[in-house]
Amino acid sequence: MEIPYTVQPRADTGLFNAKVGIWLFLASEVMLFGALFSSYILLRVGASSWPHGLLNVPIGTFNTAVLITSSITMVLAWANMKMGNPPLSRIFLGITVLCGFAFLGVKTKEYYDKFVHYEVRLVDGTVADGHIKKSPDFSVRGFKPEKGSIVLEPANVLHANPGESMADAMARLPAKERYAHHHGEEMHLEASQIRWISNYTPKHSTYFAIYFTLTGLHALHVFGGMIVLSYLFFQNRAAFARTQTERYTNRLEVGGLFWHFVDLVWIFLFPVLYLL
């Protein structure tokens, strides 16, 4: 049994089956990320303040460039296949997958930075964030320290109202007061001095919750795309790609459409999470 239009386009629609399929799939993906972006808007509108400057913009810009490059090489891989140059197509496809690796590598580094970065709200109203250098006997339950002490290498320290979060305080204070003294000096803090402590993980705030969910889901999509493109990379030299070139080119096109979509999501994610 052979299903028609798997390779050749149907005359009245001008499309082969998989192309219809991938566009429909992408439509559902738009709804998936659309729902998350809508949630982002709703959470942000409802928040008393929204953190700024917690993400590294140069790194994010670099990753954006990496993904845009990968999109270009993806198109070149497809175009070279179409023009009858499979070896060059393979090189471009390889670069695309490598860009994916680079992107995920950088993303991992960014995640790691957040996981080791702590915000500490003290009983006296001081708010600080930075890395914990030492933490003898320190234990925490939820956001509440129970015993022990920490040595914090602060990145920012400011005086807020007791219980206020760093984001709230920053939003309230005039710009020049935001980054107060102490900078770089170690802080020795007992559990009893700390009202609230959390690293920059999803539980920290709705900002980090939506940041990790959106970028995590996006990273999964990048990973999925890389699996597909790697498969096509190895298939490039298989007999199948030589004998059924058009079919292989179609696969490249469909895989490429998904890859471009994943890039496009990042083009929205970058300004929304890093810049705005």
Partner 1 sequence: MEASTHAAHLHDVHEAHHEHELSFWQKYIFSTDHKVIGIQYGITALLFLLFGFSLMMMMRWQLAYPGHAIPVVGGLLQKALGTEMMTDQILENGVKVPGVMTADLYNAFGAMHGTIMVFLAIVPLAFAAFGNLVVPLQIGAVDMAFPRVNMVSYQSYFIGGTIMLASFFIPGGAAKSGWTSYSPLATVADLGHTFNGQTFWIIGMVFLITSSLLGAVNFIATIIQLRAPGMTWMRLPFFVWAQFVTAFLLLLAFPPLEAAAVMQLMDNLAGTSFFLPSGLIVSGAPANISGGGSPLLWQHLFWFLGHPEVYVLILPGMGMVAEIIANNTRKPIWGYKSLVYSVLAIGFLSFIVWAHHMYLTGMGTKISTFFQTTTMIISIPSVIILTCLFISLWGGSIRFNTPMLFSLAFLPMFGIGGLTGLPLGFNFSDLHLHDTYYVIAHFHYVVAPGTIFALFAGIYYWYPKITGRFMSEYWGKVHFWLSLLFMNLVFQPMFAQGMAGLNRRMADGGATYAGSDTVVGIDPSILHTNVHISWAAWLLGISQIPFILNFFISMAKGRKIPSDNPWGATTLEWQTPTPPPHGNFTKPIEVHRGPYEYSVPGHAADFTPQNEPERLKHA
Give the whole-angstrom CA distance, residue 82 versus residue 249: 7
Looking only at residues 24 through 53 of this chain, which bind partner 1 when binding is defined by CB under 8 A?
A: 24-25, 27-29, 31-36, 39, 42-43, 46-48
Give the whole-angstrom CA distance, residue 252 versus residue 229: 8
174 forms part of the interface with partner 1 (CB under 8 A): no
Long-range contacts of 77-82 (CB under 8 A, 24+ apart): 77/252, 77/256, 78/249, 78/252, 78/253, 78/256, 81/245, 81/248, 81/249, 81/252, 82/249
Bridge partners for 130 per DSSP: 118, 154
Bridge partners for 186 per DSSP: none
Least separation, in Å, of the C-beta of 95 and partner 1? 30
198 forms part of the interface with partner 1 (CB under 8 A): yes
| Count of other CB atoms within 10 angstroms of residue 166 | 22
Least separation, in Å, of the C-beta of 28 and partner 1? 5
144 forms part of the interface with partner 1 (CB under 8 A): yes
- Total residues in contact with partner 1, by rule CB under 8 A: 46
* Candidate list 136, 141, 176, 243; residue touching partner 1; CB under 8 A: 141
Buried b / exposed e across 216-249, counting CB within 10 Å, b at 16+? eebbebbeebbebbeebbebbeeeebeeeeebbb
Looking only at residues 205 through 234 of this chain, which bind partner 1 when binding is defined by CB under 8 A?
A: 205-206, 209-210, 212-213, 217
183 forms part of the interface with partner 1 (CB under 8 A): no
Least separation, in Å, of the C-beta of 250 and partner 1? 14
Task: Please identify, among the stretches 10-18, 80-88, 171-179, 244-252, the one whose residues bind partner 1 according to the rule CB under 8 A.
Answer: 10-18
Least separation, in Å, of the C-beta of 100 and partner 1? 22
Least separation, in Å, of the C-beta of 30 and partner 1? 8
127 forms part of the interface with partner 1 (CB under 8 A): no
Task: Please identify, among the stretches 81-89, 195-203, 221-229, 246-254, the one whose residues bind partner 1 according to the rule CB under 8 A.
Answer: 195-203
Could you tell me the strand order of the sheet in which 126-134 lies? 187-190, 149-159, 126-134, 117-122, 194-199
272 forms part of the interface with partner 1 (CB under 8 A): no
CA 257 to chain centre: 20
Q: Which of 69, 71, 70, 91 is nearest to 80 (CA)?
A: 91
> What is the contact surface with partner 1 in residues (CB under 8 A)?
1-5, 10-11, 13, 15, 17-18, 20-21, 24-25, 27-29, 31-36, 39, 42-43, 46-48, 141-144, 198, 201-206, 209-210, 212-213, 217
